Amino acid sequence: MSKKLFCIIGPSGSGKSTYVSYARKETGYGEIISTTTRIPRIGEVNGKDYHFVTREEFEKIPMIEVDEYSGNLYGTAQKDLDHAYVNSQCAFMVITYEGAESFKKLFKELNLDIEVITIFVYTPIEELEKRMIHRGDHLEKVKERIQNIKNRKEYENKDKVDYIFEVDVNQTIEDVCQLFVKLIKSI
């Protein structure tokens, strides 16, 4: 059986990390923890949410994939890819559309037996803005991120992925998480 990498794509505030952490507990699948130069948000834990590093440290780490988002660097270290598959044949990764596409290409070139599955988490943009404010992001940052989502035309990527996970904002988080797990288990 080939390994699977579920690449979870969606703008900032779409709930990607919440759904992944819920699904990890339900499925026992691994997760690739990325490295970033971004400052941790309130409640984020180094080594769990990301490996938080300085730009100088980032540049010294051998990365298999790197992207820049909202002025910060994000990347995947080879050791974190290996680590994700220690206990399971499947792993999650929260990543940009471009990052997931470069994985598809890279794994093919390297002849790696890892199937990349892209899933776009679709949440309406007004809801994203509300969530960013609610989680304590500075208003300036919220404006910048919303503008960035529009500039990057992130919603256009929705039509290029393997699966779209449409979030019904009227449902409870628990219900949405369960629907997400259902989708993952069906793939």
Let me know if 3 is exposed, middle or buried by CB neighbors in 10 A (0-12, 13-18, 19+): middle
Q: Give 90 or 128: the residue with its C-beta nearer to ligand 5GP.
A: 128
Q: Which residue from 31, 67, 101, 137 is in contact with ligand 5GP, where contact means CB under 6 A?
A: 67
96 scored as a contact of ligand 5GP (CB under 6 A): yes
d(CA 31, CA 20): 8
Q: Which residue from 22, 34, 53, 157 is in contact with ligand 5GP, where contact means CB under 6 A?
A: 34
Q: Give 84 or 177: the residue with its C-beta nearer to ligand 5GP.
A: 84
CB of residue 185 vs ligand 5GP: minimum separation in angstroms?
Answer: 22
30 scored as a contact of ligand 5GP (CB under 6 A): no
7 scored as a contact of ligand 5GP (CB under 6 A): no
CB of residue 24 vs ligand 5GP: minimum separation in angstroms?
Answer: 16
123 scored as a contact of ligand 5GP (CB under 6 A): no
Point out which residues bind ligand 5GP (CB under 6 A). Answer: 12, 34, 38, 65, 67, 69, 74-76, 94-96, 99
